[in-house]
Chain A
Amino acid sequence: MKSLLLFLYRFRAFITLILLETACAVLIIQNSHYHRALFFNSSNNAIASVLVVANNITNYFRLRQINESLAGENLRLKNRLHNLARLPDSLKYDSLRNFNFIKARVISNSADLRNNLLTIDIGRSQGVKKDMAVIGGGGIVGKTRYISDNFTVVTSILHTESMVPALIKGKVNICILQWDGTNPYYVDLLYVPRHYVLEVGDTVLTSGYSGIFPPNLLVGRIAAINLSEDAPFFDIKVKLANDFYQLDYVEVAENMQLPEIDSLKNLAE
């Protein structure tokens, strides 16, 4: 017994190291595999408040740029609205009608890590729930992950776990978008069978099959197509429509019909 205690005492530093590293490993694994925040994260009120103050300062210097991007978006939407108004009544179809959008500001963001997350300034009290789509900046942004009363952490498209069902306009209806973790301007388009005829510049849109993202939102354009000799699928790089370094304002999209879709799916299983 005495020698055991002596042994423990002699290696107390090493034992502490092992204990602390195990605790850290548990935290890392909990976070990456179970999507559960055990303790605090940046949706915590105190932490997010610090980020808001910092963001208020940095945003002040970028007001002109932010204004310009919002005016650009306004213009695009007005053009679209005008064209929609000219359609005969029988053809009017607004694919976004099932979705309700909530405005949010990005208070912290990264694009240089392998698994990037954003923090936005709305939360449960503004109606945010888990796994809602986040869009903005002319493209798609991500999916809500951790939600507190007033803040939300968003899993960015630039996160290796992010998968978004997509389509190539007029050509392929089922494929998946996923980021390979290297360049924040490009994502991979997976599972496009080799018999399709594709071109660089083809438009990639969300398909809306997950029920999370609204259908037909712009994701980006095809930048490179490769087909290896015996591969069943293309290797496709898509240039993202939005620049993750320049995200300021985003919208959280709630699918009003998701509960109905989910209950139907449960019946089918």
Chain B
Amino acid sequence: MNRYYLYKIITFFLYLLAQVLVFNKMVLFGTAHSFVYVAFLLTLPFELAVIPGMFIGLALGLGIDAFTNTFGLHAAASVLLMYVRPMLISGLAPQGGYQPGAVPRPGSMGFGWFMPYALMLIFMHHLVVFFIEFGGFALFWGTLLKVVASTGYSFLLIVIIQYIFFARGRK
């Protein structure tokens, strides 16, 4: 169990560094941003309770914010994501509930389960990020385009990373 926590802490920092040093710079056409760090929150175990989950989201979000000088922006979106996540998980539960040992990764639950799960949460997260960052609803469609393009882009990168590094649905 301790090894598991250590492993999670290391991946936490890997996602944080990868996001601020690599993915933040990979912006397509000035429109599609990739917030791949969300994958860390998406793939936390099913059993994680909502309140500790929100604090993990807060910590990761504040970490990103510290590097990009967007205080509270990613933190707010990540906390909301971690609040909604358990509801979505129970909403998407297969008949008979989740198998013991299953994790919310495409390698474990299958792509058909992972796609709606990830897309909904990523979309909500990006919606919050871009509209707070923009500071209002002027240029609504422009911002929405950014949200939709970024959701697709982030999702694509997250799925690729999942299949490369976590192909066997490892915890």
Per the 8 Å Cβ criterion, residues 53-98 of B in contact with A are 54-55, 58, 61, 65-73, 75-76, 79-80, 83
Inter-subunit contact A112/B50 (CB<8 Å): no
| Tally of contacts, chain A with chain B, CB under 8 A | 95
- Bound CA–CA A12/B17 (angstroms): 32
CB distance from B120 to the nearest CB of A (A): 18
- Bound CA–CA A41/B73 (angstroms): 13
Interface size on A, residues (CB 8 A): 43
- Bound CA–CA A55/B21 (angstroms): 9
Q: How large is the interface on B (under 10, 10 to 19, 20 to 34, 35 or more residues)?
A: 20 to 34
Inter-subunit contact A28/B76 (CB<8 Å): yes
- Bound CA–CA A185/B75 (angstroms): 30
> A50-B17, A54-B21 in contact; A20/B69 too (CB < 8 A)?
no
Inter-subunit contact B24/A24 (CB<8 Å): no
> A37-B71, A41-B69, A41-B71 in contact; A114/B133 too (CB < 8 A)?
yes
CB distance from A258 to the nearest CB of B (A): 25
CB distance from A264 to the nearest CB of B (A): 34
- Bound CA–CA A26/B134 (angstroms): 17
**Binary B-proximity of A62-74 (CB < 8 A = 1, otherwise 0):** 0000000000000
Inter-subunit contact A114/B80 (CB<8 Å): no
In the assembled complex, A113 has its CB within 8 A of some CB on chain B: yes
Inter-subunit contact A115/B33 (CB<8 Å): no
CB distance from B72 to the nearest CB of A (A): 3
Inter-subunit contact B66/A42 (CB<8 Å): yes
CB distance from A168 to the nearest CB of B (A): 27
CB distance from B39 to the nearest CB of A (A): 20
Inter-subunit contact B133/A112 (CB<8 Å): no
Cross-interface CB contact of B27 among A25, A38, A47, A112, cutoff 8 Å: A112
- Bound CA–CA A44/B50 (angstroms): 31
Q: Output the nearest chain A residue to B61 by Cβ-Cβ distance.
A: A24
Cross-interface CB contact of A115 among B17, B66, B133, cutoff 8 Å: B133
Inter-subunit contact B72/A28 (CB<8 Å): yes
Q: Output the nearest chain B residue to A48 by Cβ-Cβ distance.
A: B67
In the assembled complex, B135 has its CB within 8 A of some CB on chain A: yes
Inter-subunit contact B67/A42 (CB<8 Å): yes
Cross-interface CB contact of B71 among A17, A27, A110, A112, cutoff 8 Å: A27
> A41-B66, A112-B33 in contact; A17/B79 too (CB < 8 A)?
yes
B interface list, Cβ under 8 A from A? 17, 20-21, 24, 27, 30-31, 33, 50-51, 54-55, 58, 61, 65-73, 75-76, 79-80, 83, 132-135, 139, 142
Interface contacts beyond A117-B69, A160-B135: sample of 7 additional A-B pairs, CB < 8 Å, sorted by A: A13-B50, A21-B76, A28-B76, A54-B21, A112-B31, A114-B133, A182-B142
A interface list, Cβ under 8 A from B? 12-14, 16-17, 20-21, 23-28, 30-32, 37-42, 44, 47, 50-51, 54, 108, 110-115, 117, 119, 146, 153, 160, 181-184
